[in-house]
Chain A
């Protein structure tokens, strides 16, 4: 080989070496950028969620001490019910056991605590879970929560629909015996929407991730009336 060919060869090796180095540097920078994109995406998610959470809320009348439930009755033992107004299993529960529980509460045999949560906002196109749970707060203000709950489940909209409009909820409430314009404006203004978020967050913090969920004296039991009466000590129903 001539020395000229050797030099050419050497220059080529060096060029290739430089190209490889550059490519490697590019690769490192692209990787760093990609990781940065993912990290920033995660932070954006956290930021969006944080900004969506409101920190202050007003609890309705008859709320529990920590504000995450609505109390009916004043019996010695406490039955807590986590419910979502668009959840079909909650309607089944309400139809099979709701009236018995409400009678026990009305007779002050139990303290019945309703926790209206908004787990299923995506099951309607209008955040029906949040709106209806907020309306339950308004019904508690009016002192007619059990009647309201019953009327709402008797007219439960199907999952995937727009749900009941605020006006329809108000009409149902009127038929269930709620009077006065306070309720109407309370529903229309979404007065208790921040409170519903509080109830929902508190439920999750307690480990409740589905509805209906029932606690008797602070212990979770199967969401069926026989299991509840058994946990209460097998006393007569109703």
Chain B
């Protein structure tokens, strides 16, 4: 078996791993924020990238959207679309964190946590957060390129269709 053959054979399973990993990321991210939507809005407001009222709406909607993305990826429905939206969100998060860094804001990114401004003496460490999101972006990119994965609803819905 050539390396190319192995790759073609392993790819759908790698995709399953990527899909479930990304699903876990979204479900944890959404799940930690869903209990306090006001705090989620404050986390968005702390970036100072939009009017506070808009940040409140975004902060309230985002955890639910993240959870829904997680569910879509978990069951493997519209995988390419869900991965593309994931990638777009990661790019927005990376830009947001980079913007906060560049402007010298001292905030908790609110990625998997409560967010908001850090207390005096606490210093934000943006680089690991950006690198982490870049890693997630790469996983999402993999799924956009090769959305056919095993154990997915897509597989069942689009069976018989050539890739």
Whether B134 sits at the interface, judged by CB under 8 Å, is: no
Given contacts A121-B36, A122-B36, contact A23 B57 (CB under 8 A): no
Determine whether the beta carbon of A23 is less than 8 Å from that of B161.
yes
Nearest-neighbour CB distance to chain B for A211, whole angstroms, equals 7
Contacts of B122 in A (CB 8 A): 89
Determine whether the beta carbon of A45 is less than 8 Å from that of B62.
yes
Whether B114 sits at the interface, judged by CB under 8 Å, is: yes
User: Which of the four size classes fits the interface of chain A?
Assistant: 35 or more
Determine whether the beta carbon of B116 is less than 8 Å from that of A48.
no
* Distance A170 CA – B159 CA, assembled complex (angstroms): 66
Task: Determine which of A23, A34, A49 lies in contact with B81 in the assembled complex, contact meaning CB atoms within 8 Å.
Answer: A34
Residues from 80 to 135 in B contacting A, C-beta threshold 8 Å: 81-82, 85, 107, 114-122
Given contacts A34-B72, A46-B60, A49-B56, contact A209 B42 (CB under 8 A): yes
Whether B45 sits at the interface, judged by CB under 8 Å, is: yes
Whether A174 sits at the interface, judged by CB under 8 Å, is: no
Task: Determine which of A45, A87, A201, A207 lies in contact with B119 in the assembled complex, contact meaning CB atoms within 8 Å.
Answer: A87
B interface footprint on A24-67 (CB within 8 Å = 1, 0 otherwise): 00110011011101101111111011101100000000000000
Nearest-neighbour CB distance to chain A for B161, whole angstroms, equals 4
* Distance A106 CA – B37 CA, assembled complex (angstroms): 38
A interface footprint on B53-67 (CB within 8 Å = 1, 0 otherwise): 000110111111101
* Distance A31 CA – B78 CA, assembled complex (angstroms): 6
Contacts of A33 in B (CB 8 A): 77-78
Contacts of A43 in B (CB 8 A): 61
Contacts of A121 in B (CB 8 A): 36, 39
Nearest-neighbour CB distance to chain A for B160, whole angstroms, equals 6
The chain B residue sitting closest to A37, CB to CB, is B68
Closest 7 CB pairs of A and B: A210-B117, A89-B119, A49-B60, A45-B64, A34-B78, A41-B68, A42-B61
Interface residues of B (CB under 8 A from A): 35-39, 41-43, 45-46, 48, 52, 56-57, 59-65, 67-69, 71-72, 77-78, 81-82, 85, 107, 114-122, 154, 157-158, 160-161
> Can you list 12 A-B contacts with CB-CB less than 8 angstroms, sorted by A residue number?
A20-B161, A26-B157, A31-B78, A40-B68, A45-B61, A45-B64, A89-B119, A122-B36, A197-B38, A207-B48, A209-B117, A210-B119
